[in-house]
Amino acid sequence: MAEPTAGSLGESGDDPLVIRDASSGAAVPDAFQRLWNPHRMAYIDAGREGRGRGHDDDCPFCEAPQKSDEDALIVARGEHAYVLLNLFPYNNGHLLVCPYRHVPLYDEAAPDELREIGELTQTAMRVLRAVSHCDGFNIGMNQGEVAGAGVAGHLHQHIVPRWQSDANFFPIIARTKSMSQLLGETRRLVAEGWPGDH
């Protein structure tokens, strides 16, 4: 069925999910637009229950390599570390580079892990530049919950592509980020652009 247009909202129809007459609803209309993101409830519920914070028994970065690349949003696998898309990205193409080993802090990582994290970061930048034509990057790590790490128990480096035109009022005023590409499509483009066997 085609998406309803603004002109069709007042018309009669068989679809119970389409609001036909806003005046008969159980609320008073206001000036706000709603951007529905029900997929975020998994993240909210996990936070409430203490899950998904990177503890040994429920670490998402330990679980991801056990899944298929498509299911885990993995774009490349190395010997000591791997690259995946952030499930809750700051920008399209927001990647994370993680060691396989469950280690929380940068100064606790082994030399081989650090070397490969650096190499994967360089490759990720080149691939993102090629497939998304970004103008720059934010790259960094939040170390510990007090520093803002969402998963403090497992080291991960953020690679966030940036464009000259990607700044607007949405994140500041509405605490909303407009994403122009679905995660699966982004994963496919980055994985296909990744050099060599992965």
Active site members: 156
Q: Integer distance in angstroms from the first to the last C-alpha of the chain?
A: 39
3-state secondary structure 73-114: CEEEECCCEEEEECCCCCCCCCEEEEECCCCCCHHHCCHHHH
Q: Which amino acid is at 95?
A: L
- Which backbone phi and psi does 82 adopt, to 5 degrees? -145, 170
Pseudo-torsion of CA 122, 69, 140, 167, nearest 10°?
100
DSSP state, residue 181: S
